[in-house]
A = this chain, B = another copy of it.
Amino acid sequence: MSESTGAESYDPGAYPPFAVTVDIVVFTIRDDRLQLVLIQRNEPPFQRAWALPGGFVHIDEDLEAAARREFVEETGVDAGPTHLAQLRTYGAPDRDPRMRVVTVAWWAVMAEVPDPEAGTDAGYADLVGVDDVVEGRVELAFDHRQIVLDALDALGDELENSTVATSFWKEAFRISDLRKVYELVWGFELEPGNFQRKVRSIEGFVEPTGARSLNPDGGRPAQLFMSEPTVRPLSSSLRRERDRKKKP
């Protein structure tokens, strides 16, 4: 068992001391792109590289609370993320060149991130395109690129089985806004008519507000929808085709 038994458990010096941190992958959509909140480091190691918001867990603090606190502190964005879920824990002995750090990674979704500012001296926070990270156009510190890739996988899976896509939008949204989430995360386009029917047929996914929205480039005005603030499992899942070709 984790706590083992015997005298060693009662001797505070008998176990190896680890640093435990949290790191958060916060997704948002801005300018029709899937983006991440990252911090540009201004200290070695990995000076000038981008890193996930995060930091040490306090000794009496819950892991999820630590994730929320660090996000606010490091980005200056005072509203915490809308949806927050644990991703996995990364603990390779050499993942930080300075010492042994085990980090509990989380992923989150935020609607309309305000322009972040560096809250602490950690560097400055900004939005970075997920594509730029996936395709290696920006360099990430430590194993953070892997964490982002894993988070993107988790988000893609979650879109199939929960209402999490609605967390990307604040008040009222169009069905095509929701479709955009799926298209950006999954990397291919969905047929608008079928998507509309599917989404509206799932009970408790979206509720019509009665309002309509005009389109900038013309086109028929769209109905606006709302959703419950809480992310719930879908009663009927939106299956993504396997072996679907990514759009170039």
Contacts and interface: CB of A to CB of B under 8 A. Distances in A.
Interface residues on A, range: 35 or more
Given A63-B91, A92-B62, A93-B62, A122 B20 contact: no
A52 B1 contact: yes
Given A89-B86, A89-B89, A98-B9, A58 B16 contact: yes
A156 to B, nearest CB: 13
A22 interface: yes
Interface stretch (A100-108, A176-184, A204-212): A100-108
Interface stretch (A38-46, A187-195, A215-223): A38-46
A39 B1 contact: yes
A57 B19 CA distance: 12
Nearest to A63: B91
A16 B100 contact: no
B16 A59 contact: yes
Q: Is the interface of A mostly helix, strand, loop or mixed?
A: loop
Interface string A45-64: 10000011111111111110
Interface in A219-237: 235-237
B142 A55 contact: no
Given A1-B51, A103-B2, A121-B5, A20 B91 contact: yes
Interface in A51-83: 51-63, 74
Nearest to A144: B1
A142 B3 CA distance: 9
Residue among A2, A12, A16, A21 with most chain B CB within 10 A: A2
Contact of A91 (B54, B101, B104, B237): B104
A102 B100 contact: no
Contact of A2 (B6, B16, B100, B142): B142
Nearest to A52: B1
Given A12-B99, A89-B104, 11 more contacts: A2-B22, A2-B103, A9-B98, A15-B56, A16-B56, A60-B100, A63-B89, A63-B92, A88-B88, A91-B104, A102-B104
19 contacts: A1-B122, A2-B22, A3-B98, A4-B55, A4-B56, A4-B122, A5-B121, A6-B121, A9-B43, A9-B99, A12-B99, A15-B19, A20-B20, A62-B91, A63-B92, A88-B89, A102-B102, A236-B242, A237-B242
